[in-house]
Homo-oligomer: A and B are copies of this chain.
Amino acid sequence: MRPTTKDLAEAAGVSLATVDRVLNERPNVSNKVATKVAEAIERIGFVRNPAAVALARNKTYRFRFVLPKSGDQYLAELIARVTEAKDALRADSTEVEVAQIAMGDPHQVAKYLTCIDHDAMDGVAVMAPESPQVRDALVRLVERGVKAVQFLSGQERLESADYVGVDNFAAGATAGKIAGRFIGGQPGKIMVVAETMMALDSIQRRLGFDSIINAQFPHLESLPSLETYGDEKRADLIIQRTLQHNPDTVAVYVLSSEARVPLTAVWNTQGARALTVIAHERTPFSEQALMDERIDAVIAQDPGHAVRSALRIMRARSDHREPLASQERIRIEVLLKENLQFE
């Protein structure tokens, strides 16, 4: 039979009240007794029954995802995943919300985070572009006792918060390797398109991509990043111009999760000329384009996994437990037409 707190009290030669004080880190416990209990825990292999703890505490956890206000397909997918998790966790006394806020002004974001309080929220997963204000606000959030997760964003990594997402340098490097090998020996240029190069994740992907192209594929040259700023007209224009100026373009690499605008522009200009196309993130658009063989490979991070991972981490931190690292690593996936699996 599995030992209970009563067995533990007996084994440690103390009362249940003292065991309770030690287990829940309450004040007024002498070192002597604390070690006696700790030793007994080891000796009899005591493990707290999480079900009993949850029941007795009768606490509802409150977690929030703070996401950008955007119409991005990847974001839509992300939100669908959060909603899914929300339903699944309702049974476990865990409330999950999504807040979409404008990420344009870092001060606004920081202000938003500043308003979040520990006794209203247990954990927050934030996806916001890098800025000192936001970083500061996050640090203060953590100091107030709210467990924070840096979520898929191009933030500089904080010590006091967990990060959920891929290593963007490695993701870019993976894109570079796939691009280089898929293109084959043929020399030429690679067009690189991003929504903006202000974001840290775009920069890191670009660096990773270039590191591989330069080192392993000297016959290829990656062109300066084109920035669409999410503007369709602008995208059409600069992409058309670039393709005309570089008739020896053999591949296109889209850094951002929004690939529809730039790739539509490419295909409009390019007609039937064969280009190797690499994009990021699985979306209805990229899925369809993979199926149609208009995109050759997609480098992705599974949004469902990311959401669940963030939730598990926030939950673990709230319970003062260490999350299981090996389970929480988000993989850099390589999606081809062949391994695109549907449910």
Contact = CB atoms under 8 A, between A and B. Distances in A.
A30 interface: no
A91 B47 contact: yes
A28 interface: no
B329 A343 contact: yes
Nearest to A325: B343
Contacts of A338: 170, 173-174, 176-177, 208, 212
Contacts of A88: 324
Contact of A339 (B50, B171, B336): B171
A331 interface: yes
Nearest to A47: B91
Interface string A241-267: 000000000000000000000000000
Contact of A90 (B47, B55, B176, B308): B47
Contacts of A24: none
Interface string A295-315: 010000010100010000000
B336 A333 contact: no
A170 B308 contact: no
Interface in A169-190: 170-171, 173-174, 176-178, 181-182, 184-185
Oligomer: number of copies: 2
Contact of A50 (B84, B91, B182, B343): B91
Interface in A307-342: 308, 324-327, 329, 331-334, 336-339, 341
Given A49-B55, A50-B92, A55-B52, A327 B339 contact: no
Contact of A341 (B47, B91, B324, B329): B329
A239 to B, nearest CB: 24
Given A167-B341, A304-B326, A325-B343, A91 B48 contact: yes
A93 interface: yes
A301 to B, nearest CB: 11
Nearest to A178: B336
A2 interface: yes
A341 B332 contact: yes
Nearest to A1: B60
A88 to B, nearest CB: 6
A49 B47 CA distance: 21
Nearest to A209: B338
A283 to B, nearest CB: 16
B55 A339 contact: no
Contacts of A182: 181-182
B181 A84 contact: no
A51 interface: yes
A334 B331 contact: no
Interface of A: 2, 47-52, 54-55, 60, 84, 88, 90-93, 167, 170-171, 173-174, 176-178, 181-182, 184-185, 208, 212, 296, 302, 304, 308, 324-327, 329, 331-334, 336-339, 341, 343
Given A174-B336, A334-B334, 20 more contacts: A2-B60, A2-B93, A47-B91, A48-B91, A49-B55, A49-B91, A49-B93, A50-B92, A51-B54, A51-B93, A170-B338, A171-B339, A176-B338, A182-B182, A184-B185, A208-B338, A304-B326, A308-B327, A331-B331, A334-B339
